[in-house]
């Protein structure tokens, strides 16, 4: 992993992680609103974040009127599909809290992928135009057992995109195309948080955090906020092979 700083916070269980990160989520949102009158959040897909979203949805200490939501990636499916990252976040969080639809920026992944990526990039840039800086306050990410994050999969073209914020990424290992934010976008984060749970992630997490930098094979290593903080929130199962002393028992 790059020598740039990052924190690894280890939680006993997935549920403990979701509880604690929900508290930290609320703190980040409040601080962002206090300092910048807004909070721009990139949501992660997959299954791990659902517990966090469900807990955050129950909080009464967040001014949702100031929050805008984006997605780091999306499968090329209809928003009603059970595969949709948008649908998961809608069910677990967005349908439970008073956020205006004008502040929920869905990736139009039912469209032609190239068109959808170009359209979403314009949407993101327009939404951030009113922010003090064109950057995200909080980026949530998962990590696959192959080291991918968002839809930045090993040995795919999107890993090397340095200008665009959103691209259509052909993923041969899935025989699919995904829409994904690039590291150019994701690394604008003030706070970038990985949420990683389960012993099936332990080996790859150790490679990403303790192994040599090998970003084509370990795309999660590409996440290094340019001017922000990176935190890995992991449960003890995922952390079981880590030797790094910098683990912080949470």
Residue among 48, 188, 221, 237 that touches ligand 6PG (CB under 6 A):
48
- Give the one residue of 149, 156, 177, 187 binding ligand 6PG; rule: CB under 6 A: 149
Closer residue to ligand 6PG (CB): 142 or 225: 142
CA 12 to chain centre: 22
Q: Which of 13, 47, 173, 214 binds ligand 6PG (CB under 6 A)?
A: 47
- Token readout for 94 is 């967005």
Among residues 250, 180, 179, which one has the least CA distance to residue 222? Answer: 180
CB of 217 to ligand 6PG, least distance (A): 16
Minimum CB separation of residue 83 from ligand 6PG in Å reads 9
How far is Cα 113 from Cα 52, in angstroms, rounded to an integer?
29
| CB of 167 vs ligand 6PG, minimal distance in Å | 14
Q: Establish if 154 lies at the interface with ligand 6PG (CB under 6 A).
A: no
183 binding ligand 6PG? (CB under 6 A): no
Q: How far is the CB of 200 from ligand 6PG (least distance, A)?
A: 8
Distances from the Cα of 44 to the Cα of 20, 53, 70, 85, 169, angstroms = 17, 10, 9, 8, 17
3-state DSSP call for residue 62?
coil
Q: Which of 18, 38, 84, 85 lies at the binding interface for ligand 6PG (CB under 6 A)?
A: 85
Q: Would you say 196 or 242 has its CB closer to ligand 6PG?
A: 196
Considering only 9, 45, 154, 237, the residue that binds ligand 6PG (CB under 6 A) is 45
Contact pick of 51, 113, 142, 219 for ligand 6PG (by CB under 6 A): 142
CA angle, residues 225, 226, 228, in degrees to nearest 5: 55
Name the closest residue to ligand 6PG (Cβ): 142
Closest to ligand 6PG by CB, 63 or 199: 199
Cα dihedral 212, 214, 217, 223 in deg (nearest 10): 100
3-state secondary structure of 138: strand
Helices (H), the chain: 14-36, 49-57, 85-92, 113-128, 183-186, 202-210
d(CA 33, CA 114) in angstroms, rounded, equals 34
Catalog residues that contact ligand 6PG under the rule CB under 6 A. Answer: 44-48, 73, 85, 142-144, 148-151
């Amino acid at each position: 992993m790059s020598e740039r700083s990052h924190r690894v916070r280890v939680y006993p269980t997935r549920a403990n992680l979701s509880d604690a990160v929900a508290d930290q989520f609320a703190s980040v949102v409040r601080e962002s609103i206090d300092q910048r009158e807004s909070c721009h959040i990139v949501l992660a897909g997959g299954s791990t974040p659902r517990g966090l979203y469900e807990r955050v949805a129950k909080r009464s200490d967040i001014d949702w009127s100031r929050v805008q939501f984006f997605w780091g990636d999306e499968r090329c499916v209809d928003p009603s599909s059970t595969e949709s990252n948008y649908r998961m976040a809608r069910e677990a969080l967005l349908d439970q809290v008073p956020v205006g639809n004008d502040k929920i920026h869905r990736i139009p992944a039912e469209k032609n992928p190239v068109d959808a990526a170009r359209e979403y990039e314009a949407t993101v840039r327009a939404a951030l135009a009113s922010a003090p800086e064109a950057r995200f306050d909080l980026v949530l990410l998962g990590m696959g057992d192959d080291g991918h994050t968002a839809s930045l999969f090993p040995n795919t073209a999107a890993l090397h995109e340095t200008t665009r914020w959103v691209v259509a990424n052909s993923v041969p290992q899935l025989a699919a195309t995904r829409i994904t934010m690039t590291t150019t976008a994701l690394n604008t984060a003030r706070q970038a948080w990985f949420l990683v749970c389960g012993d099936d992630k332990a080996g790859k997490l150790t490679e990403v955090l303790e192994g040599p930098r090998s970003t084509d094979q370990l795309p999660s290593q590409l996440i290094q906020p340019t001017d922000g903080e990176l935190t890995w929130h992991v449960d003890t199962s995922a952390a079981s092979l880590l030797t790094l002393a910098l683990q912080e028992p949470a």
